[in-house]
Structure 1
Amino acid sequence: MTEQSSWMAKRLADAAELQDFLRTAGTLTLADRRTLVQQALVLIEQNYVHLPLKVAMHAVNPVQRLRLLGLRLSRQTETSMDPEWRFHAELASIFHSIRDLHTNYLLPVPFSGKIAYLPFQIEEYYAGEERRYLVTRVVAGHGTPPFGPGVEVTHWNGVPIDRAVDVNAARFAGSNPAASHSRGLQSLTIRPLRTHVPPDEEWVVLTYVDSSGITQELRAKWRITENLPPFVNADELTTAAMAQGLDLGTDEIGRAVKMLYVPQAVTTLETADVAELTTAPAAPGADVPTSMPGVFRARSVVTPSGTFGHLRVFTFNVNDPDGFVAEFVRLAELLPQNGLILDVRGNGGGHIFASEFLLQTLTPNVITPEPAQFITTPLNGRICAQHEQNPTGQIDLGPWCPSMRQALETGSVYSGGFSITPADGANAIGQRYHGPVVLITDARCYSATDIFSAGFQDHKIGPVIGVDDNTGAGGANVWTHELLKLLLELPEPAAGSPYLPLPGQASMRVAIRRTVRVQDLAGTPVEDLGVVPDHRHRMTRADLLQDNADLLRLAGRLLAELPVRRLDVELGGTTGELQLVLRTSLLDRADVYLDGRPRLTVDLTQDELTVDVPGLAAAGVIRVEGFHEGRLVAARTLTT
């Protein structure tokens, strides 16, 4: 056993039972509770960008609920106040009612940093039109035959499992039916206590059918352990924190799943120190080692339609978006070039720059990052004005300031829309993969992953396959309470800041800027609507037990129907002006630009062609655009 595996095993062995853990809770005073409710009111009433949308779409009134909770607290005393678990449940319920996974009440110690889990994972599949549920993973040392992967679950505490999932879904914050159902299923067996109140039951009784067709029962206790830490500190004034687009619950669960079921993929740092990364193309069926195992998995997969690349992106929650894109490009270039299956299922988002920087590598077209808007409240106006000139060097809110000031006269609900992601960064390196690409999504794709999926579809990069009816529909940039507090303290403290320190290491997050789509769907909000796939795939039993066999079969079939283009560009020549060597496939024309200025148009009469380009001896950025029947279909960018 490796040192890391031993450490992980000890952490799980030290997990506490739920009843023992709850004895350590209950330290908030009445004043602490009043502070939390008052600060929640500030965020929801004065910062929350989706409040008008949520009131209209879901008929909720979180502001009034918070006021009523505050009134009840004003009538209580230290001796008569409700048990702490009831306070946490009520405040969490108010946040959950708006169905926004960006906007959360984050529980204080001892809940923060902990997860509650049952020692198995359940996933769903379809048999015809009937939805069924399988155990797909069991924590090492907890599976006793006949219980194990492959057994079919029929009841949960005596309730038919499909009904139990829907009942559980009603408690959580999915913004559409697909997202609610998906999170209802996920939270049956694993819950981050930072974003979820603890389970009501101390144990569950699972009814299942074993491999012999015999109905069995299993009693499993909830256990509590420390989760793995995130890579990004969202409370610090950094570019990564300011550009957060993250479903914290899904991100917490993603780290917990690695710890429980794939400890070999656990890294404590964003990048792992890999001594020798291969430079050889992936063999059929083989994985490509990565320096970011917590972020990527790359492999070559064999399907009935051919051998293609499969690149899983588990998260965009990184500090270095340029390093993220560089590793993605390195992996993609080692995979088969005749087609790429890009899989973002279960990706809760992260750094918005990383998600939108990635799009350029898959298309010759210029990427238009999604614009973002504030809701035009006086408090948001103060925050923008304090950072209009980017005094800290971390955030420039200047573009939003004129429209925020005009809102008093115009009555506009939202500010002007400007992209969070810098457009030059979103187009800095250009297309790097020239084969066809399909994208696989699910209802747990959220926030920056919603933004990525929308951009993929809006820029017509390739077909989108959804294993659910739409993505999670989180269209916003999210800031923490601590970050908002810092923004009114830097570079100099503002008078009369409404933000107060939160007790007990509690925290809150709020969707601060909403994002809207571009191109054909320009102006359409991502929130609540999400991305509807071009092809709907219902997961099968073979998908769950045979490594996505049917899903990859569909993806391979779609890739095989698309053209495989090639545009390789090398510098040639040894004296005088340099030349370009073009190696192409399924292109009939190439245009050459140097530092943005057109230099040459050439007809591609053969697959390899060497051309003289006027002025190419000078250093600069070369962009070659490849066309087929007058349509831009490939591009390559390099620097001399």
Structure 2
Amino acid sequence: MKLIKIATIALAMMSAFAQAEIKNDYLSNVRPQITFNELSRADKQTLAEQAQLFLRDLYVNRYAKDIYYGNSPDWNKGHVNPADAVQKVINNIDKLSTAQLHAQLSQIFINQRDLHLNYNFPLPHAAFLSFLPINFARTANGAELNEVRIDRVYANYFDALLPSLRKPEVGDQVLEYAGLPVKQAVNNVLINGAGANLYGGFSRAIQYMTLVPQSGKLPPANDRVLIKLRSAKTGEVYSIDLPWLVQYDDAALENKAATASTKSLTDKAFAQSIEGYQEQYNQFVSRNTAESDIQGFSKNTTAEPTIKWAIVPKGEKRLGYISLSSFVPANPDQAVNIIYNLLHNQLAKTDALIIDVRNNGGGYISYADKLPQLFKPGKASTGSARLLNTKLNNQFLNQDDFRQYWPEWVKLINDAAKTKNTYSKTGVFTSAEDANALGQAYYKPVGVLANARSYSATDLFTCQMQDNGAATIYGEDPSTGAGGANVLEHGFFAELGPDWFKPLPDGVSMRVSWRQSVRGGYNPNTIIEDYGCQADVNVPRTLSDLANGDQTQFDKIAADLLAKPVTKSGYQFTGLVGNIIEQKEGNNTLDIQVAETELIKVYIDNQLFETQTVYAYGSPKTVRISLPRKPLGQIYQIGIVGADAGQVALWNTKRLVQVKAQ
């Protein structure tokens, strides 16, 4: 069948796509183009040996995976010891074609069920994305917690490419997939979905059943899939025989693999935790559908596209809402400031707040580390991380670049080398000072809404909010996606460690979970990988949520969150104060009203300046705080902490102060 280009499809279809150069066709037509360039024996050897280095000497979760999943004798059926499995590939390398080599190495990575661990195929294979014009979702119905239903229908594909097929409707229940009962079908693809734990595995499996990017996975084995469904409206049972479709960009097929410079020890290069498949999934959905808001309210945009907010009336109360669709903003520090300002201004008078991080694949760890402080009366703690104690890690980190820029990690691996411990001791990505630089900005109950596709840095954020006692975790699934590691590209190691790492041939790339995340606070010494962050309150989606844009789920969360007690302790500046307080030259005092607070502590540039016992009980009490004498134009930070009789923090605020002329 002739290739169909979006620009030539019906006008109704054009509005669904953002890029006119993207092409669509049937997998049956395009399959011959989804190929690999032939590799020499030397290139095959390089790929296998570099994969072995990654999996044996750098992959920090390898032993934890052995404990959690056990080992399967068959690399194609379950978790395997990755180093041993790659050694078998090396032993048989002369018998393997290029396609077989790629397939086996990829499967070994996938079998670890770690979405931070990736073997990424080269072009032209990587240019293609196979999909069905529907998506699945998990719903709950009474005792049945794992229904599979249609969550999204890409109607324009049916109209343009599949006009003779019955178009399913959102909410229709999936009974069979590829001739198997749906639960058996899900179980059969758990490994290829690569999700961790029960719910992460289930969620990723049903994603994989409708969207398969050839950047990291082989195309579906069959050109079509038969799906039996039950209509949500009528109860009628019917079947559709869907062809797999393919989306790709001609320009990508013409490009040669680029080797980007990765020699950077910045936060962006060194402290990322992001899951690529979820980002691809989100981009596909965004590219092919109009954004839909939760029914009943629309979201306001900000200068950072990944941050949106709303205020939702609920009876006499007002519920604040912040959506974080990604932890990869254009500027992480600016993103934190946007949220800080929303909390201090637009959302300040709401009665509770929901932070929605569903389907957020992660991003910058420092961004996640800096948010809990905005909701915690006392000092917020961050998670930590540790390295695998191997000779290669020791050699790699003991280079001049790391000694200069990351001496704390060099010390950790050197100390570990003197022991027989499996891991180094833990270090942090964000200092305690940076993680508490802004202070508390919201003082009402907070909830975080997450699901099994909340992964990587989003796992870290959700766990840190729980570990700091800063929020109630509401789970669309009982746990987050359980991706607990800092991830780095092979190119990073190859450029900074050419003595051990060789450039990968033909544009292949690999990623590895390098430093394992460890929780603190209320869950000390617990790893996130495979376990995730367990929900405090389960709020699974139901059939009604698919029909009303998750309004049923949202109302449950709102009712629970707004019923929580609100602290009576707090403060209020007596005059109009923004983020910067103006101190008139010669005036060295500041008045605030304090409620239900025993004492206050005043910090100037993080140094204790004054302590007052205020006994502010009953009616609010005006308290006069001393300010330091500073020269005209000077800017400094003031921190004020309200505490109880046991000196436990009840609230805090940090503001900049600028000395101005009278």
Which residue is equivalent to 1:545? 547
Which residue is equivalent to 1:558? 560
The change in CA–CA distance for 1:406 and 1:422 in structure 2 (over 3 A counts) is: closer
Structure-2 separation of matches of 1:234 and 1:164: 42
After superposition, residues 525-540 of structure 1 pair within 5 angstroms as 525-540=527-542
Are residues 1:510 and 2:519 paired?
no
Any stretches of 5+ residues in structure 2 without a counterpart? 1-10, 72-79, 160-165, 253-259, 658-662
Are residues 1:87 and 2:115 paired?
no
Deviates more, 1:562-571 or 1:454-463: 562-571
Which one of 303, 320, 334 corresponds to residue 291 of structure 1? 303
Does the 8 A contact of 1:572 with 1:581 survive in 2? no
Which residue is equivalent to 2:460? 451
Does the 8 A contact of 2:301 with 2:307 survive in 1? no
What secondary structure sits across from 2:328 in the alignment? coil
Deviates more, 1:284-293 or 1:348-357: 284-293
Are residues 1:418 and 2:427 paired?
yes
Which one of 376, 384, 387 corresponds to residue 371 of structure 1? 384
Any stretches of 5+ residues in structure 1 without a counterpart? 266-283, 490-496
Report the AA paired with residue 637 of structure 2. Answer: V
Shift of 1:424: 2.4
Structure-1 separation of matches of 2:429 and 2:583: 42
Does the 8 A contact of 1:303 with 1:552 survive in 2? no
Which one of 379, 382, 392 corresponds to residue 395 of structure 2? 382
Report the AA paired with residue 459 of structure 1. Answer: N
Does the 8 A contact of 1:599 with 1:614 survive in 2? no
Are residues 1:134 and 2:149 paired?
yes
What secondary structure sits across from 2:216 in the alignment? coil
Shift of 1:96: 1.6
Are residues 1:632 and 2:649 paired?
yes
Structure-1 separation of matches of 2:57 and 2:170: 48
Structure-2 separation of matches of 1:337 and 1:584: 20
Which residue is equivalent to 1:273? none
Which residue is equivalent to 2:660? none
Which residue is equivalent to 1:244? 272
Question: Structure 2 length normalisation: TM-score?
Answer: 0.84
Does the 8 A contact of 1:125 with 1:540 survive in 2? yes
Structure-1 separation of matches of 2:428 and 2:316: 39
Aligned length: 600
Which residue is equivalent to 1:501? 503
The change in CA–CA distance for 1:302 and 1:91 in structure 2 (over 3 A counts) is: farther
Structure-1 separation of matches of 2:220 and 2:444: 47
The change in CA–CA distance for 1:263 and 1:544 in structure 2 (over 3 A counts) is: closer
Structure-2 separation of matches of 1:534 and 1:62: 35
What secondary structure sits across from 1:334 in the alignment? coil
The change in CA–CA distance for 1:46 and 1:389 in structure 2 (over 3 A counts) is: closer
Shift of 1:143: 4.6
Structure-2 separation of matches of 1:387 and 1:531: 37
Which residue is equivalent to 1:493? none
The change in CA–CA distance for 1:633 and 1:112 in structure 2 (over 3 A counts) is: farther
Are residues 1:69 and 2:89 paired?
yes
Q: Deviations over 1:149-191 (max 9, x none)?
A: 2333222122222322222223232221111111011111112
Question: Structure 1 length normalisation: TM-score?
Answer: 0.86
What secondary structure sits across from 1:23 in the alignment? helix
Are residues 1:217 and 2:247 paired?
no
Does the 8 A contact of 1:321 with 1:357 survive in 2? no
Which one of 183, 188, 191 corresponds to residue 209 of structure 2? 188
Shift of 1:588: 5.7
Which residue is equivalent to 1:103? 117
The change in CA–CA distance for 1:364 and 1:409 in structure 2 (over 3 A counts) is: same
The change in CA–CA distance for 1:607 and 1:156 in structure 2 (over 3 A counts) is: same
Report the AA paired with residue 136 of structure 1. Answer: D
Give the RMSD, CA atoms, in angstroms: 2.9
Does the 8 A contact of 1:115 with 1:256 survive in 2? no
The change in CA–CA distance for 1:146 and 1:507 in structure 2 (over 3 A counts) is: closer
Which residue is equivalent to 2:162? none
Structure-2 separation of matches of 1:567 and 1:113: 56
What secondary structure sits across from 1:49 in the alignment? coil
Which residue is equivalent to 1:622? 638
Shift of 1:581: 4.1
Which residue is equivalent to 2:53? 42
Q: Deviations over 1:567-626 (max 9, x none)?
A: 444347756324434356665654322222232423446447362424265642111113
Report the AA paired with residue 124 of structure 1. Answer: R
What secondary structure sits across from 1:191 in the alignment? strand
Report the AA paired with residue 37 of structure 2. Answer: T
Structure-1 separation of matches of 2:222 and 2:157: 20
After superposition, residues 128-527 of structure 1 pair within 5 angstroms as 128-130=142-144, 131-143=146-158, 147-210=168-231, 211-226=233-248, 235=262, 237=264, 238-262=266-290, 285-293=297-305, 295-303=306-314, 306-318=317-329, 320-332=331-343, 333-335=345-347, 337-387=350-400, 391=404, 396-488=405-497, 497-527=499-529
Shift of 1:218: 2.1
